[in-house]
């Protein structure tokens, strides 16, 4: 009888208007995994493109237990502006951060803005980062503790005594080959080890742990066993179309005018196309093994059931498509990235809606019940985490320097360059983006629909911007401080 009275009283309380419990479930931990220069060459994206031979069992396993966003895109095809956009929740066109320098706090709009790690820090989380989360050197040493409580090692990549490849310009990062012999010498191994140690520790607070892996960023080094996964004689090269750039605007060349990353023409001439692709794939598989170490450590910690795992890459990477290698373009290969969210209450599946790295900040604020952060320009993905098929009304927007923007809807990619030239690709019919439809009159309406999403705020570069910065005054394109002469175009 006493149990019945207690149950009856509880039911009355639940029915009482305005009644709430005096406690709430524990806030989830967050394991935030960043990968540098990883395009869509992961196994779980194989049905939607990618590379058919890539081996990424650990990332694939994470995707199976979470929501895989198969149409996710970066906000900039360059490290510093991409990470600044994600970590501060603003479009590059809203901040003027376009180059590799300066860091985010040099932008007037971000000087007092709340960063993602600060949002967790202010809400009582134990905040920790290691490896490459913020772009290297973008947060000054004296300001680090304002952004995050604990900073682990951000180890640089090991280098052999002599480079494997003599690329044009002889840039030290433009190299690839089997090195080092032992995986434990790799920067990503050391990053994973530090993060695994943190996962093994007990804390009274919920934690935010960011682990940033450097590979497959060049130099693409991995030990021989990872190269052995991809025999050179059986290697599949990415699909390319001869003369693919004939229907692209002249201005499209300006976005990657003079770079250390070699053109496809040089890779073919030097017989380095296959070796680069092989090294990129080997680097991916090694990096995936380090993701596996993190996920195993999370399992052993006993905290898996209350930990949200977020995996993302800062931008893609060309390996011959459109005649180039590297990033710095507004095409699919440069903007599409793996993005996975797995954890408590998230139903496994695949979401094909166009989403952005910019959306991660408001998503984590809502999912982890953080205090509201002002000025975020992305959109919370929580509705898609609950129902991946729900109607999503926003495209993904990528910017590379002032005036150059890509609008990615579910079906189309639209590109607008600073001089007004355009590209349009239908991904249902042309996933390789070989046929520019922008000049065809029957696509006038679709062009107009996509133009409507171009950023209304489009700031010039912040003072001090340098490295891969392009400006246009209506007459002259200036690349890294020097006026572009079309006659100097490299094949």
The residues annotated as belonging to the active site are: 79, 135
Cα–Cα distance for residue pair 424/132, rounded to 1 Å: 34
DSSP 26: P
Closest CA to 304 of 344, 346, 347: 344
What 3-state DSSP class applies to 98? coil
What 3-state DSSP class applies to 443? helix
Angle at 299 between CA 296 and CA 300, to 5 degrees: 90
Per the CB < 8 A criterion, the answer to whether 388 and 350 are in contact is: yes
Closest CA to 108 of 91, 93, 92, 96: 96
Burial class, 362, CB count within 10 angstroms (exposed 0-12 / middle 13-18 / buried 19+): buried
The strand pairing partners of 471, in sequence order, are 478
Cα–Cα distance for residue pair 36/135, rounded to 1 Å: 10
Q: What are phi and psi of 239, to 5 degrees?
A: -70, 130
CB count within 10 Å of CB 491 equals 8
HSE of 449, CA atoms in CB hemisphere, 13 A: 14
What 3-state DSSP class applies to 355? strand
> What string of DSSP letters covers 182-220?
SGGGSHHHHHHHHHHHHHHS--SS-EEEEEEE-TTSSSE
Alpha helices (H) in 1-103, listed in sequence order: 2-15, 57-64, 79-88, 92-95
Cα–Cα distance for residue pair 94/378, rounded to 1 Å: 12
CB count within 10 Å of CB 120 equals 27
DSSP 124: T
Cα–Cα distance for residue pair 260/275, rounded to 1 Å: 17
Cα–Cα distance for residue pair 174/157, rounded to 1 Å: 13
């Amino acid at each position: 009888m006493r149990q019945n009275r207690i149950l009856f009283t509880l039911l009355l309380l639940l029915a009482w208007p305005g009644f709430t419990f005096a406690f709430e479930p524990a806030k989830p931990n967050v394991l935030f995994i960043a990968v540098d220069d990883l395009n869509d060459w992961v196994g779980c994206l194989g049905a939607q493109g990618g590379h058919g031979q890539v081996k990424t069992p650990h990332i694939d396993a994470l995707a199976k237990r979470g929501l895989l966003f198969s149409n996710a895109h970066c906000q900039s095809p360059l490290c510093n502006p991409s990470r600044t956009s994600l970590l501060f929740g603003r479009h590059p066109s809203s901040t003027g951060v376009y180059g590799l320098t300066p860091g985010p706090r040099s932008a007037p709009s971000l000087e007092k803005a709340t960063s993602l790690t600060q949002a967790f820090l202010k809400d009582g989380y134990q905040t920790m980062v290691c490896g490459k989360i913020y772009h290297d050197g973008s947060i000054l040493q004296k300001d680090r503790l304002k952004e995050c409580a604990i900073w682990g090692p951000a180890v640089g990549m090991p280098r052999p005594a002599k480079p494997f490849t003599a690329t044009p310009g002889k840039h030290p990062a433009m190299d690839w080959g089997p090195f080092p012999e032992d995986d434990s010498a790799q920067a990503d191994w050391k990053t994973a080890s530090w993060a695994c140690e943190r996962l093994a520790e007990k804390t009274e607070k919920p934690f935010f742990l960011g682990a940033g892996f450097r590979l497959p960023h060049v130099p693409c080094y991995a030990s021989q066993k990872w190269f052995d996964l991809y025999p050179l004689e059986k290697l599949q090269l990415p699909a390319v179309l001869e003369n693919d750039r004939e229907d692209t605007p002249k201005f499209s060349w300006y976005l990657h005018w003079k770079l250390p990353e070699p053109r496809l023409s040089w890779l073919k001439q030097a017989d380095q196309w296959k070796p680069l692709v092989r090294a990129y794939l080997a680097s991916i598989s090694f990096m995936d093994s380090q993701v596996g170490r993190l996920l195993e450590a999370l399992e052993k910690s006993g905290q898996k059931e209350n930990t949200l795992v977020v995996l993302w890459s800062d931008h893609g990477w060309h390996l011959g498509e459109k005649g180039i290698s590297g990033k710095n373009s507004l095409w699919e290969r440069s903007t599409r990235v793996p993005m996975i969210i797995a954890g408590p209450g998230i139903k496994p599946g695949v979401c094909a809606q166009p989403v952005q790295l910019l959306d991660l900040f408001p998503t984590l604020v809502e999912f982890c019940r953080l205090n509201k952060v002002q000025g975020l320009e992305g959109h919370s993905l929580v509705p898609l985490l609950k129902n991946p098929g729900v109607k999503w009304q926003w495209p993904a927007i990528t910017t590379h320097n002032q005036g150059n923007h890509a609008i990615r809807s579910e079906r189309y990619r639209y590109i607008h360059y600073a001089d007004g030239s355009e590209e349009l690709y239908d991904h249902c019919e042309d996933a390789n983006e070989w046929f520019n439809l922008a000049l065809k009159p029957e696509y006038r309406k679709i062009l107009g629909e996509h133009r409507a999403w171009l950023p209304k705020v489009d700031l010039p570069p912040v003072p001090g911007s340098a490295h891969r910065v392009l400006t246009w005054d209506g007459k002259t394109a200036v690349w890294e401080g020097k006026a572009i002469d079309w006659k100097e175009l490299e094949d």
